[in-house]
Structure 1
Amino acid sequence: MNLFVFGLGYTAQQFIALYRHRFTEIGGTVRSAEKAQALASTGIKAYHFDGSDFDPGIVDRLSQADALLVSVPPKGETDPVLEQFSKVIASAPRLRWVGYLSTVGVYGNADGAWVDETTPPNPATLRSRQRIAAERQWLAIGENAPFSVQIFRLAGIYGPGRNALLKIVDGTAQRIVKPGQVFNRIHTEDVAQVLMASVAHPNRNAIYNVTDDEPGPPQDVIAYAAQLLGREPPPEVPFDQADQSPMARSFYEDNKRVRNERIKKELGIALRHPTYRDGLRALINSGEGR
């Protein structure tokens, strides 16, 4: 089985690291020559694609792909992959599975209530509205295609090299408190196993929430990471006094608890890291933050 990935970023590379033995050939796109060279040393053939300009070799690789993972964000109101390659993808002779990585941000704010895949999207930010538009474009192309399109709405991603332990160590962690605020999270190993289970059992135009079992306050995650490291946690900072980028602040506009029963029932998933505590313990046991 051949895999092609639009957007060989953090999440896609974690998926490949765990499941590359399930694929005969793996290729994908990057934005820089330096990253392409680095991936070549791992056996991944990378092609340039910056949303508009692209290596023509991508067309040939798509014709040989059995599975296609899309991890490229929208560009304005359009999906750059479909804008450039929709006809090639639609006619790819071997393609059987397409996975599009989206975000639970499309649900918008639920004032802390539970949402699931049947909840109508209500995006609060332009970024999330663009995600919904891209989801609909992918679902539309999959309606009558010979391949199956799946949408994966991801919670906040963490894993090796990207987690609260490292933020404690490098001094960038903030224990920001906004009363009543909760977030779901998901470890990259669980994202990867959901994707692989879906590749094995495609479900046409399915939408899956990919989240952990326990949404919780962000300040609790930082405090627990500090506890694991044997350090004092940073002081609590009220949300309205926190030093955050506009994008980081925008995440706090959404407050919801996201259900994940569908990945368990339809894909047979048993989460390896059902809570942030499980995930952080596994990371520190692997040497992260030490």
Structure 2
Amino acid sequence: MGYTASRLAVQLRSDGWEVVGTSRKASSASIAFNDDVAILSALSEATHILSSVPPSRDGGDPVLERYGEAIAAASAQWIGYLSSTGVYGDTQGAWVDESASVGSGRRSARAAADLEWQQLRDDVRIFRLPGIYGPGRSALERVREGKAHRIDLPDQIFSRVHVDDIVSGLMASFFGPLGIYNLSDDFPCSQNAVIEFASLLLGTATPLMLSLEQAQLSPMAAAFYAENRRISNRKAKRVLGWGPQYRDYKQGLTALFHSFGQKVD
């Protein structure tokens, strides 16, 4: 029950669904991640099964390794897996859709898991997600905490998606065709533009422009800037009848800013 799955669970429960997930510790709404008996029982009874668990450090998919056989045999009418648009690798800023090949980028473990889920059974829906932001996890928090960076890579373009738009996309797929879907907003842009707009909303100074070397990013963060792509969401719009409520980062960040109880000048 990570960030996205928890947000989905809140919406589903408000609509009258019974939702249970796994977490580090058992609670009234979750099963401990190592309680095989309870998890296998839940999988056998579920109408809908979603895995939002990323590959492990050794590259394997921990859900498939432990419960793949049970999921393959489950009677669930809907099965989904949250993947990443990182499986497409670097497109040098070009648009990419679900027909593109996967596995050429830095997210090799994620690409392998993506393909393994597709092969598990022929009715698994795959959702490829770019950078996820939302309440408590956005450029607003990073700017406020002094953790935001602007990197001097003027041609670097990324896609992103508000967590609530992932939720609406998943729910739209409950009644839509099988397939692989990119869920992203409509306007890819540089990370610098996002940081600059967040700073404007908060009325704080824009972080200085740094080179990659000056920023001293972690290897994982630096690897983020090694790829450059624009993600197309046209298939999800056409096939699922879905569309992002927050079509770009300005709409999304402005809504989050107002949720702080503040007003834009």
Query: Superposed, which structure 2 residues align to 1:31-180 within 5 Å?
Result: 31=24, 33=25, 36-37=26-27, 40=28, 44=29, 46-49=30-33, 53-75=34-56, 76-93=58-75, 95-125=76-106, 128-143=107-122, 148-180=123-155
**What is the aligned counterpart of 2:198 among 225, 234, 252?**
225
Aligned twin of 2:252: 279
- Taking the aligned partners of 1:118 and 1:55, their CA distance within structure 2 comes to 36
Give 1:179 deviation, angstroms: 2.6
Q: Indicate conservation of the 8 Å contact 1:165/1:289, yes or no.
A: no
1:103-142 Cα distance to aligned partner (Å, 9 max, x none): 00011011111111111124321xx111121112111122
Number of equivalenced pairs? 262
SS of 1:153's partner is strand
1:240 deviates by 2.9
Distance 2:218 2:105 in 1: 17
Q: Secondary structure at the match of 2:127?
A: strand
Normalising by structure 1, we get a TM-score of 0.86
> Do the aligned partners of 2:184 and 2:244 also contact (CA within 8 Å) in 1?
no
C-alpha distance in 1 between matches for 2:262 and 2:40: 41
Letter in 2 for 1:249: A
Q: Return the match for 2:208 from 235, 258, 276.
A: 235
The one-letter code sitting in structure 2 at the alignment partner of 1:108 is G
Q: 2:217 aligns with which of 244, 265, 269?
A: 244
Structure 1 residue 55, shift from structure 2 partner? 3.6
Distance in structure 1 (CA, Å) of the matches to 2:52 and 2:221:
20
Following the alignment from structure 1 to structure 2, what is the Cα–Cα distance between the partners of residues 138 and 208? 14
Contact 1:160 1:288 (8 Å CA) reproduced: no
TM-score (norm 2): 0.93
Tell me if the contact between 1:105 and 1:123 (Cα under 8 Å) persists in the aligned partners: no
For each residue in 1:16-70, what CA deviation from the matched residue of structure 2 results, as whole angstroms up to 9, or x when unmatched?
2223234532111112x2xx34xx3xxx2x1222xxx444211111111000110
Residue 169 of structure 1: how far off its partner (Å): 1.3
1:122 and 1:91, CA in 2 relative to 1: closer, same or farther beyond 3 A? closer
Shift of 1:178: 1.3
How far did 1:77 drift? 4.0
Q: Which amino acid aligns with 2:254?
A: R
Residues 185-221 of structure 1 show CA distances to partners (whole Å, capped at 9, x for unaligned) of 10001000000001122x23x1111111111111110
Which letter maps to 2:47?
A: D
Amino acid corresponding to residue 190 of structure 1 in structure 2: D
Question: Judging changes above 3 Å, is the alpha-carbon distance between structure 1 residues 81 and 283 closer, same or farther for their aligned structure 2 residues?
Answer: same
Measured in 1, the distance between the counterparts of 2:254 and 2:216 equals 28
Determine the structure 2 residue equivalent to 1:17.
Answer: 10
Give SS of 1:19's match: helix
**Partner AA of 1:150 in structure 2:** R
The one-letter code of the counterpart of 1:25 is: E
Aligned residues of 1:108 and 1:122 also touching (Cα < 8 A): yes
Taking only aligned residues, the RMSD between alpha carbons, in angstroms, comes to: 1.6
Residue 87 of structure 1: how far off its partner (Å): 2.0
Alpha-carbon distance in structure 2 between the residues aligned to 1:62 and 1:140: 19
Distance in 1, matches of 2:111 and 2:261, equals: 35
Contact 1:107 1:121 in 2 (8 A): yes
SS in 1 for 2:156: coil
Listed as ranges, the gaps of 5+ residues in structure 2 are none
Structure 1 runs (4+) greater than 4 angstroms displaced: none
